[in-house]
A = this chain, B = another copy of it.
Amino acid sequence: MDAILHGDEAVLRPLMARHADLSARVTLRHAERVVTMHDKPAQIMRHGQGTSMFSTIDAVKDGEASAAVSCGNTGALMAVSMLRLRKLPGVNRPAIACLWPSRNPGGFNLMLDVGADVKAEADDLLQYAVMGASYARNGLALKRPRIGLLNVGTEEHKGRVELKEAHDRMAEVAKVSDFDYVGFVEGGDLPSDRVDVIVTDGFTGNVALKTGEGTAKLISDFMKEAFGAGIMSKFAALLAMNSLKRLQKRIDPRRVNGGVFLGLNGTVVKSHGAADETGVAAAIGLAHQLAQVRFIERLAARVASAERAGQDAAQEGPGIAAGTGDGSTA
């Protein structure tokens, strides 16, 4: 794998010089400006030319790079990605998918949307399911992902109108898109092993993501305090070091790094703004994997076949089975 590194040459050149082995594989591309965490997406869309973010996304747009990785401002990155890469044909709202520590064998579940948009209609939720399933197949190696719809209860009569509509139509979509629909799931099911992909709107998903991270951080801080209190506890912590490290690894947000933008003409992986080398490496690894399997082509085929099936179903009227997929392995 080769890489193009976009940014201020004066800063990056000395950093790269410390790692001689990098120079053969990494091309430095100078960018005059950077997008900061405080920049507003709308501003960046209009006046972001010359930033490393534009340069990075344009490398994907021009076919020079197979995927983009950024640790920058999420809102701006999504805005620039939409502006330059454009949405996949048939996609209404792109989504951000992220991994969540879980009881499943792979150690992680997938949730989307976690913040690309603040709302989602039934059609969007159905499309998130199709895109999430495709990502789970290609990114998590799950042959037939199990999809759940996030709600405030698992009973059919509960929840918002758009959720009920998506719920009623999900079985049809599942048939064409080769996933299993497990029905409504609740906040407590995010780490559950009865589901692989959790579908929700970007507002709810973002709050849930940050709530989970915040809770994990709170417990971790309380645990440090608990193990720091008293000589016995400190001794215990020393003995338990390996166990605690193993625990940390299982719920490590750096490993859970790599939010993926779905629904665009190009792969964009968003790493956490506070990611360290482990986190950034995980994001680059994910981008590489998705590029290798030609994820975007597979995703586009999935979205198209789900859309065709939806049109068929609409023409045939409700209650009639939709057409089967196009046989692609996306």
A contact residues vs B (CB 8 Å cutoff): 40, 75, 101-103, 115, 118-119, 150, 152-153, 155, 157-160, 186-192, 200, 202-204, 206-219, 221-223, 226-227, 229-230, 232-233, 235-240, 242-244, 246-247, 250-251
A223 to B229, CA, bound (A): 19
Contact A232 B242 (CB under 8 A): yes
Contact A207 B187 (CB under 8 A): yes
Of chain B, the residue at the smallest CB distance from A241 is B236
Contact A187 B203 (CB under 8 A): no
Contact B187 A218 (CB under 8 A): no
A118 to B223, CA, bound (A): 35
A224 to B238, CA, bound (A): 17
13 contacts between A and B (CB under 8 A): A75-B153, A152-B206, A187-B210, A188-B211, A189-B214, A190-B211, A204-B207, A212-B214, A223-B247, A226-B246, A232-B239, A233-B240, A233-B242
Distance in Å: Cβ of A74 to nearest Cβ of chain B: 9
Residues of B within 8 A of A103 (CB): 218, 221
For A219, give its contact among B207, B239, B251 (CB under 8 Å): B251
**Given A203-B204, A216-B215, does the pair A239, B246 have CB atoms closer than 8 Å?**
no
A219 to B215, CA, bound (A): 10
Distance in Å: Cβ of A116 to nearest Cβ of chain B: 11
A283 to B217, CA, bound (A): 27
Distance in Å: Cβ of A171 to nearest Cβ of chain B: 23
Residues of B within 8 A of A209 (CB): 187
Of chain B, the residue at the smallest CB distance from A114 is B152
Contact A243 B247 (CB under 8 A): no
Of chain B, the residue at the smallest CB distance from A207 is B187
Contact A212 B215 (CB under 8 A): yes
Contact B207 A150 (CB under 8 A): yes
A158 to B210, CA, bound (A): 16
Contact A230 B207 (CB under 8 A): no
A232 to B209, CA, bound (A): 34
**Given A222-B251, A243-B227, does the pair A186, B215 have CB atoms closer than 8 Å?**
no
For A118, give its contact among B160, B203, B216, B235 (CB under 8 Å): B160
Residues of B within 8 A of A214 (CB): 187-192, 212
Contact B242 A230 (CB under 8 A): yes
Distance in Å: Cβ of A42 to nearest Cβ of chain B: 8
Residues of B within 8 A of A187 (CB): 206-214
Residues of B within 8 A of A219 (CB): 216, 219, 247, 251
Distance in Å: Cβ of A196 to nearest Cβ of chain B: 16
For A191, give its contact among B204, B218, B233 (CB under 8 Å): B218
Residues of B within 8 A of A230 (CB): 242-243
